[in-house]
Amino acid sequence: MLYKLALKQKRIKVIFQNKNDLNFIKKKIDLKKSNCILIPGSGVDLKKYSPKKMNLKNPIVMLPSRMLSHKGVYEFINAIKIIKKHRVNARFVLVGDLDEENPSGIKLNVINSWVNDNLVEYWGHKKNMTKILNLASIIVLPSYREGFPKVLMEAAACGRPSITTNVPGCKDAVVNNYTGILVPLKNSKMLANEIVKLLNNKNKINKMGSNSRNYALKNFDIKRIVDKHIKLYREILKK
């Protein structure tokens, strides 16, 4: 009802970041196709986020997000437990702030228990994400759902392949088997398998990384995305 009230204007233009949200709202409130605009993501500063040489001798597999269960942190930890049995040469890292007031927030003592069990390193909140993402060889985001995850755009801009879930938002930010890999939701075993396969194929990591940067140049440039918004606002004001 609130969407119907808010979006009932004839001249309205509604910006969506992924196709699932567009189709859902369009169907629910009978929104015309001409009123819908799809602009994937908020964009990335491609000069600030640029690739640095990857360390594949001691690879880092990184999950950068707030420490929330619906970001797939538990699935990542369970995948690491499986991977450790294969004795794969890699470091596993969590990067992101705590949000213990959030109902799905993960407590610091839980994270510390993983650290003490030598499953993962916890780097906490980091401001310089350009530098941090470039320390990784593979970015992992097993999220349950997103609008259009900025961290996957930033990872692509840094020339890093991503392994993420085949859910709205995440699947829109990655081209499967080209810039990254899509895995089923809440499936730690598949996540572990894909991480191991990618770690064992250094050429594929480099190739996907290169593909990611090229894809970011074509699709995630913040200048182009801002220009699209400004152009849209000007068109509406002229009417």
Percent of the chain with pLDDT over 70: 100
* pLDDT given at position 95: 98
Phi, psi dihedral angles at 120 (to 5 degrees) = -150, 155
* pLDDT given at position 12: 84
Q: By C-alpha distance, which of 156, 151, 130 is closest to 217?
A: 156
**Is residue 63 predicted with pLDDT exceeding 70?**
yes
**Is residue 105 predicted with pLDDT exceeding 90?**
yes
Q: What does the pLDDT look like over 70-81, one tens digit per residue?
A: 999 999 999 999
Contact between 209 and 153 (Cβ < 8 Å): no
Q: By C-alpha distance, which of 126, 130, 128 is closest to 155?
A: 130
* pLDDT given at position 197: 96
Q: What does the pLDDT look like over 139-184, one tens digit per residue?
A: 999 999 999 999 999 999 999 999 999 999 999 999 999 999 999 9
Q: What does the pLDDT look like over 6-53, one tens digit per residue?
A: 888 777 889 999 999 999 988 888 888 888 899 989 999 999 999 999
* pLDDT given at position 28: 85
Q: What does the pLDDT look like over 113-135, one tens digit per residue?
A: 999 999 999 999 999 999 999 99
How far is residue 101's CA from residue 63's CA, in Å, rounded to a whole number?
21
The model's pTM is: 0.92
* pLDDT given at position 31: 84
* pLDDT given at position 158: 98
* pLDDT given at position 57: 93
SS3 per-residue string spanning the chain: CHHHHHCCCCCCCEEECCHHHHHHHHHHHCCCHHHEEECCCCCECCCCCCCCCCCCCCCEEEEECCCEHHHCHHHHHHHHHHHHCCCCCCEEEEECCCCCCCCCECCHHHHHHHHHCCCCEEEECCCCHHHHHHHCCEEEECCCCCCCCHHHHHHHHCCCCEEEECCCCHHHHCCECCCEEEECCCCHHHHHHHHHHHHCCHHHHHHHHHHHHHHHHHHCEHHHHHHHHHHHHHHHHHC
60-219 homologous superfamily: Glycogen Phosphorylase B; (3.40.50.2000)
What are the residue ranges spanned by the domains of the chain?
Answer: 1-38, 60-219
Contact between 167 and 145 (Cβ < 8 Å): yes
* pLDDT given at position 200: 95
* pLDDT given at position 239: 67
Helices 73-84, 188-199: crossing angle, 10 deg rounding: 60
Q: What does the pLDDT look like over 202-238, one tens digit per residue?
A: 999 999 999 999 999 999 999 999 999 999 888 888 7
